[in-house]
Each structure stands twice: as C-alpha cells, then as structure tokens.
Structure 1
Amino acid sequence: MPIATVNPANGETLKTYEAMGPEEIERRLQLAEATFRTYRTTPFAERARLMHRAAGLLDGLQPDIARIMTTEMGKPVKQARAEVAKCAKAMRWYAEHAESLLADEEPADDDVKDSGASRARVRYRPLGPVLAVMPWNFPLWQVIRFAAPALMAGNVGLLKHASNVPQTALFLEDLFHQAGYSEGTFQTLLIGSGEVEEILRDERVRAATLTGSEPAGRAVASVCGDMVKKTVLELGGSDPYVVMPSADIDRAARIAVTARVQNNGQSCIAAKRFIVHTDVYDAFAERFVEGMKALKVGDPLEEGTDVGPLSSEQGRADLEELVDDARRGGASVLCGGERPDGDGWYYPPTVLAGITREMRIHREEAFGPVATLYRAGDLDEAVLIANDSPFGLSSNVWTRDEAEVDRFVRDLEAGGVFFNGMTASHPAFPFGGVKRSGYGRELSGHGIREFCNITTVWHGA
C-alpha cells in the first residue's frame, strides 16, 4: 500500500511520500537507543513540563490537524476537533498523574520482615524504545494514548502509522519536537507493513503496541513472542448494546444512533450488535431506525455532516459484502443497504434485522455505519447473544434494575461494561479487551505500567 493522503470524499490523491530506506531506519533506531539512555533519567517534573507544552501546542493547532485528519480518513471535522481536544486532555492527565502512578510501592511491614529484609520496595522503571503500530480510524488519539504514558514513564517512542494518514504521523513527530523533546524521543517511521517484522526483531526495540485488525495483531504478537518481547494489543470489536424493559427507551435509541455511527461507524468500540428485550423491541427498533434515517451523510468538512465517507474503497467493499451476505441469508434491511451514486466512498446508515448465526455479520466486525438488531426473550438470552462473538472489547447495557446490573457485570465477556450510556475512553480508566479483541490495557495506571520494568528492590537486614 502506498504511503499517501487520498481524500476518501472524492478519491483524489493529494500527497505521496517515499518510504524510508534501510539507512534512515537504522539512523532512527540508533537515535532512539541513544536518546533513551539519557531520557530515562529525566525527572518527572521535566517530563511533565514537556508534555504540558506539547498539549498547549496541540490546542493551538486544533483547526489545522483536525482538517488534515478529516481529509486523510474522512471523519466529520467536528468529530476531528473533538479528537484533538481529547488528546490534549490525556496528555495533561498523564503529565499530572504519572509520578504518583509510578511511585515506589512499599510492601506491608510484616511481609518485609517475613522476607528477611530490612526494607523493600517495588519500583517502576522504563523499558526502552517501544514500537507503536497504529491505525487510521483515530489517527491522533490512538497514538497519543500510547505516547503520553510511554513518554511520561521514561520510554521513547517509534511510530509506524497507517499508510493512509502520513500527514498526521509527521505532524505528531513535529509536535513533540516543537515542544522541546529531543529528536530521538518520538520518531515517525514512514515505512510499509513489510518492514515492521525486521524492526520488531531488532534488539534495540524492547516492546510493541498495536491497535488494529486481528490479522495485524497476530503478526506482531507472533514475532514478539518469538523474540520474547512485551506486547499490548487492542484489536477488533463487535460490541453489544443491550436494552432491557426498565430502560429509558427514547434515550437509549437516541444514544444508540451516535454509538453506532461515531467516526462514520469505523470504531472498534462502536456499538454494533443491538440486543433488545422482546417487550421493548418494537418501540426501540422504530425509534432507532428513525434516528439512523435522519442522519446527514455528506462532505465531512461541512459542519452539519453526521456521517462522512469510509476511509477506503476496499473498506466500503468489505462492508457491502457483509450486508449482501446477510441479505442473501434472509435478513431484513430496515434502512440503507445500498451504495449511493457519486464520488467518494460513502455508505448509508443501515439497520439489519433477523440476523442468524450463519451470517458473516454475526461473527465478523462491521467497520462502518451498519447496525444489527437482535430480539432477546429474557436476560439469559440477552447475555447469550452478547457473548456469542469472538470479540470482547466493550459493551453497553440499558437497565434500571440493580439485580440486572450485577448479572451483566458478572457475565458479560468484555473489557468494559457501560450502563445507560455509550462506551467511551477516558485517561483515568483502563481500556482494552478479552478474547480476540486483544490483551493488555491502555490508559489509567494500568496503561502506563504496561511498558515498565516492575522491579523488586530488597535490602538485607
């Protein structure tokens, strides 16, 4: 895949870039290793000063980078601006909390004495250069939620971004340099996917994190497993959105629309499977379909646009295949389901009902504004349908019944359970999944410790 900005609203190639050759890759790896030797000892106060400065610069550049993101991958520009603001918030959060999150831990006195020590503690030390392989769908946020904790922990970052968002990738490198970080602290590698394995096998790269598809995660995990290197993987999701009879149906249906079509439906944590108790199914379905039909699809640079184009022509073709397969299997198309005429890789908000386990869309992730509706006879069936997926990233449940809350928390196979609201990520809460949605956690204290050497320090009596 060429490294290029191709506007998904019209298919026009705007900029192309030459991939870095072996000599430049080697130079950057050497620089990362050398920089880590000194940056790792930088006091937290200085790390925080630099991170705060980067966040301030990002605030000022919000309109420019938002437009770049929209032009590169098609998200509505108002959502792009919100993504920029979220990144600055996370950078400040880690600047303010990293030192306390990584403070030495003191074991209980009785345990210290029992171990034969005069004193003991647990210290968190940085690992070294970390390679981040990142996707195009949230081209700024996915990187920042790795970079902010990794840099605050004393690591240095190497970014292999998706080939269709090169301007965003270069912007990120420049942002950290402008903030005062030395050149080797955060570097963008303009390379294709074929060069990733060799870099992962390089002894100077100590760990890797990937957000992306399941096949990409398998490839990175396989290489890192062979090299015995730490990895964090955030892969696909097909999140359930369960609606029980006690829910506020109007609000649940209204938020369901946003939960499905955020980022043009191209979000791992977007709600995709809507599992509704039979007592409220008809009422919810009517309101949900009405909301999906009312969305404005159009130019993502226009402020009034709700849904822009998909990021690529192939992405739209893949989504169409899932819808067509479901239709052939007997699914009902309640709205959408047909490619519009005209330029760009647009696909309409679509709702499918009558889904069966034999349909591909039941087990595969629909990466676009396509929702599937399921009717559940009771709570047990709702849980069964929700868990009948190879993925387990997050989940949404609408209920006012505390007994049901306890049951869903206990039984849903997911990295998060969000009640009476849509899934969202926040720097204070851990983010990640189970099953084929990956392993490890980003954000919060859990995220910053993923790329630390957790060191036992023991002193004899």
Structure 2
Amino acid sequence: MAPTTPSSPLVLKPGTSWPDAWERCLAVAPEAFRDDRVLNLWASSWQADGRALPATSPVDGTPIAGPPRLDAATAHRAVRASLDAHRDWLQVPLPERRARVAATLDALAEHRELLALLLVWEIGKPWRLARADVDRAIDGVRWYVDGVEPMLADRTPLPGPVSNIASWNYPMSVLVHAMLVQALAGNAVIAKAPTDGGVACLTLACALAAREGVPVTLVSGGGRELSEALVRAPEIGCVSFVGGRDTGARIATAVTDLGKRHVLEQEGLNTWGVWNFTDWPALTSVIPKLFDYGKQRCTAYPRFVVQRTLFADFLAAYLPAVRSLRFGHPLAVERPEDPLPELDFGPLINAAKAKELSDQVAEAIGRGAAPLHRGSTADGRFLPGQDTSAYLPPVTLLNPPPSSPLHHAEPFGPVDTVVLVDTEAELLAAMNASNGALVATLSTDDPGTYDRLAPEIRAFKTGHGVPRSRGDRDELFGGFGHSWRGAFVGGDLLVRAVTTGPPGERAPGNFPDYHLMP
C-alpha cells in the first residue's frame, strides 16, 4: 500500500521552527549559546573561540548554527586542561560521581523535547526517532548509575581523559551515553562535535552535564586539525571512535603505534540472507523497520542475499513493504493542531550525500544493475516549495556490478541491493563481502541450517530471521574483521574499556594480532 498524499498543503508545526528551538537554547543554557553561534567548552568554561562555519539544515535548507572550528594549537590546550580536570575528578568518590551523573540525567529528561527538536533540525531525524535517541541515552546511563559498583570492583580510572570522536547520526544514544558512562567510571571526557551535524544538541547536553560538575570538554574542528591532539596527545588515556573505515584505519594505526587504549567502531556491509525460507509475512512486517532513519546507522541492513529459487516470493514480500514507506519533512503537518507525523525517514545528512548516492545508483544501473524499485519525491510529505535536495526516495537494485561501490560498501542511505545465489557457499561469500560486519541476519526455516551457517557469517551479532541492533544496557557490542578495532563495549565491558583492572588482564575485543589492551 502506497503512502497517502496529503489532501491539503502541509504547514510547519507551530513552535517547532529552528528560531523557536534556538530561542529555547538561549533561555535554557545562555552560557553555551551566544547570539547566533554555539561555543566550545574547555578548561571548565565556555569559550567564544574557533571559526564558526555556516551550516544549513538537511530538512529544508534553513540556516542553522555551524560548528566553531578550533585550530590545532587550541585543541592541544583543551586536551591539557582536560588532563587537569581528570586528575581532579580522580579524587571524587564514586557516590558523588553517581549523584552528579544522575542529576545530569534528570536535566536531560527535563529538556528531552528540545534535545529531540535539535536532532530533527540538525541531522534530519523524524520526531519519533529523535525522541528515542534521547530516551535511549537517558535510560541506558541510568542502568549504569544504578548498578556500576560491582563493575568497578578492583578497577581504577585511566591515567588520562577519554577522547570521543563519533559520527553525527546518534549524538545522544551513542556519544552522550558513552561520555556519561566514562565519567561515571572516573574519567574526564573529551568529545569532538561531528562536522556534519548535531553540534547544538551536543552543546546543550554538555551544558547540562557541566552544570552538575561532570568534567566534560566539547570542541569542534576538522579531523586533520584536531587528530594530533585528540588521538596522539600523550595526555589522552583512551580513544573512542565511531565512523568510517578510512578515518578509522588511520586512527587504528596511530593508537596501535602508541600503545593507546582504544575502541574503534567502523562501518561494515551488514547483510540479510534468505535461504530455504517460507515465512514471507514475517519478512514483509520487518522491512519498513529496516528503513528507520533512511538506513543512516551502523546496524542498517542494505544488502539482501537471496536464494535464486526464492526470488519471486522474496519480491512479493519485499516490494509492498518498500512501497508503504513514509518519508518527508519531519515537522510538516496538515493542520497546526495535528501531532507530528510518524515517518520512517526524512532527509539524508546533506544534499551532497543524496547526490552521491543518486550518482552511484545511476552508475550501477548503467553498468548492468536492474532497478527493482525507485521511489519518487512525489511520494513524500513536503512543505510547498521547500528545498528537497537532501532527500532520496528508497531505491532497490538487483545485482550491482562488482565495479560499483554499492557492491561492496555500506551506502548509508535508503538504497538496498539484492544479490541472487544458488549454493550455500555463494550465500556465505556474498554475506561476507565486506570482510567483517557489526550485524547480520539469516532467514531460514530450518534451525539446523541456521546453526550450521551462522558461525560462518563474519558479523558480531547474527539474528535468526530477526534484525540485530547495537543494544542497550547489558547487551554487548562489537564488530568482526575490519568493522571494529579494540575493546568491545556494552554492559560491564563498556566500563572495563575505560578503566584499568588487575595486572595482566586481557581485554575482550577485536585487536590486530590479538594484542593486549594496555
């Protein structure tokens, strides 16, 4: 069933505009927001330094606050100041740390709606997913606040602060969550605001944490300018990175050479295999969920590997689900009093990414891929005359050629590819195309077939007919092969990754050559 077209022109939900959100930021945290720019937080104070770059929202091209980019020298000063804060924080007993982090969570919960609205404007998250991102951060850290004592038994904080460099897609449930747990474990924390979006949301979250006395540093800048300070500086006790393989590989080389503690989550081509399978209604029901946030997440499934004899049945189950997807402006409503729409996804992170993927789709088709589905912006929900350059309707291609990036790399957008196979060996080879992934799924009716093939799939988590995710609270997370380097996280492992244990302790993780984590 296709999405319904609004019967009248859509309007922006009153009270949700970017100026509305910005005025609320100025009122809630005037120390962190000034006029039309955000500030950097280092040396325990908000600094009006850095070169503020212009930025626009992917939602509709509205001008928004850009990151105030520091130079390398100032970044080094910020790192040195963070080490001083780290040494002070080492003297704070655990009950006091718990109280300060818990107070931060209460403040985040109080301003949940504003944090979510900033995520909508800055990174294009639909309202439902933006609120979920905030809620997962709060609920996840509360789990640690309530149960961290046994996790810290016989453990001590690192000798220096934890440096966090993360992608833009989950500022709260990944980045802020990690920062607060790292601080709870006894470390000062540094975060680099992602260049592509989320700086205002992170600034507000860090302002609320800093007010409670949590030792947080937040800086903006280009990776090349800041990497020497945030990765290589001797003051840094651990590097936590979430992002692409190219940047991750450079960081992995640096931290390995320096013998530095590290958690490096990188991209992988997560795949969904279909073999000797008949429960097609179950597959139809899950397909829309796989398009949440336009597949702009590390645990998205952009590749289906399908037994050739099941291809017709697969299409009959898959295509109606894809045609039902709802996308468009996350804050557009038919009437001012209407609730915000329940969308599967909004824009991509920027117009350049939308064009890049559109070009890759066109190139793949030109080289022999068959388009199974190509959506249209006419099917989306948009304001009259709005900029839609960052939007990409869903696309599905059959057998992208080996020369195409869509054959071997994660698209990070609403582009699915389908590969047909005839044997179990071909199935496994196609599912392992990227030499390591974070998640995978195999849909098969026979539990014995699943038990036999799942261990051969190079993914950290493999589901039997159900999608896997990063997980919350006590669920562990890591990667296989090139999708991860360093300590695994989740549950007590997240605490162990940023603390020192008994002499000779071997850290669970994906380390090159199985090196021990120092």
Per the normalisation by structure 2, the TM-score is 0.78
Task: Tell me whether 264-273 or 319-328 shows the greater mean CA deviation.
Answer: 319-328
Distance 2:418 2:144 in 1: 39
Say which SS state the counterpart of residue 264 (structure 2) adopts: strand
Show the counterpart of 2:47: none
The root-mean-square deviation of aligned C-alpha atoms, in Å, is 2.4
The 5 A counterparts of 1:93-132 are 93-104=143-154, 123-132=155-164
- Could you tell me how far 1:195 is from its partner in structure 2? 2.3
Asked whether the equivalents of residues 181 and 495 of structure 2 are also in contact (C-alpha less than 8 Å), the reply is: yes
Asked whether the equivalents of residues 429 and 443 of structure 1 are also in contact (C-alpha less than 8 Å), the reply is: yes
Distance 1:457 1:77 in 2: 47
Match of 1:197 among 227, 237, 242: 227
Show the counterpart of 1:454: 501
After superposition, the C-alpha distances for 1:222-244 in whole angstroms (9 at most, x for unaligned) are 33234332221111121011223
Say which SS state the counterpart of residue 271 (structure 1) adopts: coil
Asked whether the equivalents of residues 238 and 268 of structure 1 are also in contact (C-alpha less than 8 Å), the reply is: no
Distance 1:293 1:280 in 2: 20
Task: Sort the Cα spacing of 1:217 and 1:23 in 2 relative to 1 into closer, same or farther, 3 A.
Answer: closer
Show the counterpart of 1:429: 475
Distance 2:360 2:257 in 1: 35
Asked whether the equivalents of residues 265 and 484 of structure 2 are also in contact (C-alpha less than 8 Å), the reply is: yes
After superposition, the C-alpha distances for 1:253-290 in whole angstroms (9 at most, x for unaligned) are 3212321x121221121011112233433222222121
- Could you tell me how far 1:247 is from its partner in structure 2? 5.1
Task: Sort the Cα spacing of 1:389 and 1:23 in 2 relative to 1 into closer, same or farther, 3 A.
Answer: closer
Match of 1:73 among 123, 126, 130: 123
Show the counterpart of 2:135: 85
After superposition, the C-alpha distances for 1:19-63 in whole angstroms (9 at most, x for unaligned) are 235675455323311221232243333222222222222222111
Match of 2:427 among 363, 382, 385: 382
Asked whether the equivalents of residues 137 and 263 of structure 1 are also in contact (C-alpha less than 8 Å), the reply is: no
Task: Tell me whether 370-379 or 126-135 shows the greater mean CA deviation.
Answer: 370-379
Match of 2:417 among 372, 384, 388: 372
- Could you tell me how far 1:83 is from its partner in structure 2? 0.9
Match of 1:320 among 358, 361, 365: 358
Task: Sort the Cα spacing of 1:96 and 1:126 in 2 relative to 1 into closer, same or farther, 3 A.
Answer: farther
Distance 2:404 2:67 in 1: 40
Show the counterpart of 1:33: 83
- AA at the equivalent of 1:346: Y
Say which SS state the counterpart of residue 334 (structure 1) adopts: strand
Match of 1:172 among 205, 211, 215: 205
Distance 1:11 1:358 in 2: 33
Distance 2:270 2:504 in 1: 42
Distance 2:205 2:157 in 1: 25
Task: Sort the Cα spacing of 1:61 and 1:325 in 2 relative to 1 into closer, same or farther, 3 A.
Answer: same
Task: Sort the Cα spacing of 1:23 and 1:327 in 2 relative to 1 into closer, same or farther, 3 A.
Answer: closer
Gaps in structure 1 of 5+ consecutive residues: 105-122
Asked whether the equivalents of residues 435 and 458 of structure 2 are also in contact (C-alpha less than 8 Å), the reply is: no
- AA at the equivalent of 1:42: V
Distance 2:118 2:243 in 1: 21
Say which SS state the counterpart of residue 155 (structure 1) adopts: coil
Asked whether the equivalents of residues 298 and 308 of structure 1 are also in contact (C-alpha less than 8 Å), the reply is: yes
- AA at the equivalent of 1:429: E
Match of 1:45 among 80, 84, 95: 95
- AA at the equivalent of 1:364: A
Distance 2:474 2:163 in 1: 23
Say which SS state the counterpart of residue 352 (structure 1) adopts: strand
Gaps in structure 2 of 5+ consecutive residues: 1-50, 333-340, 379-384, 506-518
Distance 2:266 2:145 in 1: 27
Show the counterpart of 2:399: 354
Show the counterpart of 1:295: 325
Task: Sort the Cα spacing of 1:457 and 1:14 in 2 relative to 1 into closer, same or farther, 3 A.
Answer: closer
Distance 2:202 2:241 in 1: 15
- Could you tell me how far 1:5 is from its partner in structure 2? 4.3
The 5 A counterparts of 1:168-247 are 168-178=201-211, 180-182=212-214, 185-199=215-229, 200-246=231-277
Asked whether the equivalents of residues 135 and 142 of structure 1 are also in contact (C-alpha less than 8 Å), the reply is: no
Asked whether the equivalents of residues 156 and 186 of structure 2 are also in contact (C-alpha less than 8 Å), the reply is: no
Show the counterpart of 2:41: none
> Runs of 4+ in structure 1 displaced over 4 angstroms?
1-5, 21-24, 337-342
Task: Sort the Cα spacing of 1:55 and 1:421 in 2 relative to 1 into closer, same or farther, 3 A.
Answer: farther
- AA at the equivalent of 2:321: G
Per the normalisation by structure 1, the TM-score is 0.88
- AA at the equivalent of 2:238: A
- Could you tell me how far 1:307 is from its partner in structure 2? 1.9
Task: Sort the Cα spacing of 1:357 and 1:153 in 2 relative to 1 into closer, same or farther, 3 A.
Answer: same
Asked whether the equivalents of residues 52 and 95 of structure 1 are also in contact (C-alpha less than 8 Å), the reply is: yes
Asked whether the equivalents of residues 243 and 252 of structure 1 are also in contact (C-alpha less than 8 Å), the reply is: no
After superposition, the C-alpha distances for 1:393-414 in whole angstroms (9 at most, x for unaligned) are 2112223422123223311101
